[in-house]
Structure 1
Amino acid sequence: MDAQTARAADAASYFLIESKGNWAGPNAGTFLLDAAALAEAGHRVRVFLVEDGVLSAVGTDTPEIERLAAAGVEILVDDFSAAQRALGATKLSPHVRLAGMDVAAAALTQDGCRGVWH
């Protein structure tokens, strides 16, 4: 087994749910940076922004979202939370896509998925 195959076998799948906005305290952005670090280490990572966490995806110049995208993280924004905050798809980063809770439920029930809610 070569090194790349060994790393792939050791890779985990993470579904990380962020419910806090960037202003929620000094560690609010750290969760998203941790997600990027997991992806950069070779793990499959998906981030689901919900509640005030959707505000992290507003605009085109959000460092955390840019790093997640560069690391290959799939970034999902809860469509209900976005609608409640009057955020249409045109106000969100081009690196994210709107998704419903059904997508989150399906992801969390996949074999081997490690879910973390912040």
Structure 2
Amino acid sequence: MNEYLLIESGGPHAGSGCERFVGDATRLAADGEDVALLLIQNGVTGAVPKALESLEAYLRQGGDLWVDSFSLRQLAIRANDLLPGVRLVEMSDVAERLLRPGLRVVWH
């Protein structure tokens, strides 16, 4: 099993690339890979229910959905307005994962 950290910064309003990127994360999770999808900057808007419906499929496949708490505050989005199953993270959480040997990171 491989371990992945996929980082989405554009969100649903940045175009169809975001949907494809979440689709890639969903396929990795469905294949049994250890996947954390981190939403940062404008990407956090995708974690609001119905904003990016492909995230629900990703969560159903067992993927971890991380949302940057700093970005939420910057966009005035409350944590209780997000999809169930979201994990709010700080950059220290991200740094810890980044230091894991063999981690594969992709930023979109």
TM-score (norm 1): 0.86
Change (3 A) 1:61 1:27: closer
Q: Partner of 2:106: helix, strand, or coil?
A: strand
Q: Which runs of 5+ in 1 are unaligned?
A: 1-10
Q: Does 2:60 align with 1:70?
A: yes
The one-character-per-residue Cα deviations of 1:22-43 (angstroms, maximum 9, x if unpaired) are 1212222110110010111121
Within the candidate set 40, 43, 64, 1:53 is matched to 43
| 1:47 Cα deviation after fit | 0.8
Comparing both chains, which one has the higher relative contact order based on Cα–Cα distances under 8 Å and sequence gaps of 6 or more? Answer: 2
Change (3 A) 1:101 1:55: same
| 1:61 Cα deviation after fit | 7.0
Per the alignment, residue 11 of structure 2 pairs with: 21
Checking the alignment, whether the CA contact within 8 Å between 2:67 and 2:86 is kept in structure 1 is: yes
Residue identity opposite 1:116 in structure 2: V
| 1:112 Cα deviation after fit | 1.3
| Range moving further from structure 2, 58-67 or 79-88 | 58-67
Per the alignment, residue 97 of structure 1 pairs with: 87
**Percent of paired sites with the same residue:** 39
CA separation in 2, counterparts of 1:63 and 1:21? 12
TM-score (norm 2): 0.93
Superposition pairs of residues 24-35 of structure 1, within 5 angstroms: 24-35=14-25
Q: Computing the radius of gyration over CA atoms, which structure comes out larger, 1 or 2?
A: 1
**How many residue pairs were aligned?**
108
Checking the alignment, whether the CA contact within 8 Å between 1:57 and 1:65 is kept in structure 2 is: yes
Q: Which runs of 5+ in 2 are unaligned?
A: none
